Chains A and B, each alone.
Chain A
């Protein structure tokens, strides 16, 4: 039992983000309103971004900006840099890209929802399907 509890506590970041992802996934599939689906999509993407960033954490490390960057010596060999002192920069870089992609998708989705609203005058999916079936 303590083994299981230790498992839960040591990897708690994964459990939280997976829960968030599933909330977002549930929203995309089940909600009726088009904008609520877009919000669910955003929650899903944000949860994946948080998941990646949590991979980069390192115990006892600081942010990935070198201290004494352009110090007085300003030459190679003046300071030896240890990788264990700084956090993993790669997930941060990847998630900068993923955030931008998420924003772009959000913009396009809202533009499409606007067009749908302009034509059908409603954002509820069942009402739109009813209008289509009537035609």
Chain B
């Protein structure tokens, strides 16, 4: 099998190299890719959409239909992970759990089906718990709000600097995952319940597709933001800029919740009991 793989990879590589001899040189300003369609984007984006970041304008306005399906891809990946992995264990069937007495450090193991009376002296710990995690827990807990503010900045400034919905959404998701990794999965599940995460993911992409449907209902083509001009009370060009912002917010919500949802399912192997 290894020899076959080598042969296939070698033949494909030689074929690709042979075909690439015809390509334009690297960074050639006269190449067809740089002279056919993109000059229109670079030159006309300010007067047609009033967004200086050309990549955001192309992503969320000229080729916004593609981006809507990109958000759908991340949504469907989260739904697939949930569908494939999630097992709903009844309360009595739970596996054995570990508890630690906070004052003395004694660890007790409770078998399946057993219970301990609820009390503040015992904290639940994971199978892979290590002592001396005070520094990590404190630092991560302090970092999370700053990460989230930065993420909101990235989303809001997608028009003027590199950024946008996907980037900001991933950073927001990372803030929740850092909390889950430094503490444990139950901490984040208490703050963002599974139902909330699932519904918000759908709400985020619904915001994107709903904006498009609104444009459709107002008479223009789907996702033609200039149809929103009468609602927002601005001219058609500024309406495009605002439309881009609305869909970027929808994308950020969808990506954040999708990342958190995938992490929850994959790290706990579907039973939402113990994470990494």
Chain A interface (Cβ within 8 Å of chain B)?
7, 10-15, 18-19, 21-23, 25-26, 29-30, 54-61, 63-66, 69-70, 76, 79, 81-84, 86, 88-93, 96-97, 100-101, 103-105, 107-108, 110-112, 114-115, 118
Chain B residues within 8 Å of chain A by Cβ, number: 61
Can you name 25 A-B residue pairings with CB atoms under 8 Å? A7-B21, A10-B26, A11-B23, A14-B20, A14-B26, A18-B13, A30-B1, A54-B26, A56-B33, A58-B34, A65-B55, A66-B52, A82-B43, A83-B38, A89-B54, A89-B55, A90-B38, A97-B66, A105-B77, A107-B78, A107-B266, A110-B266, A111-B81, A111-B265, A114-B269
Residues of A within 8 A of B59 (CB): 93, 96
Query: 11 additional contacts, CB 8 Å, given A100-B70, A101-B73, A111-B262?
Result: A10-B25, A15-B20, A21-B13, A25-B5, A60-B29, A70-B160, A96-B59, A104-B73, A104-B77, A107-B77, A114-B269
B1, B33, B160: the one contacting A29 at CB < 8 Å is B1
State whether A25 touches B20 (Cβ < 8 A): no
Query: Which residues of B161-190 have CB atoms within 8 Å of chain A's CB atoms?
Result: 161-162, 166
Residue of A56, A61, A64 with highest tally of chain B CB at under 10 A = A64
Smallest beta-carbon distance B161→chain A, Å: 7
State whether B9 touches A22 (Cβ < 8 A): yes
B9, B12, B55: the one contacting A93 at CB < 8 Å is B55
Q: How many A-B residue pairs have CB under 8 A?
A: 167
B149 at the interface (CB under 8 A from A): no
Which B-chain residue is minimally distant from A15 (CB atoms)? Answer: B17
B226 at the interface (CB under 8 A from A): no
Residues of A within 8 A of B166 (CB): 96, 100
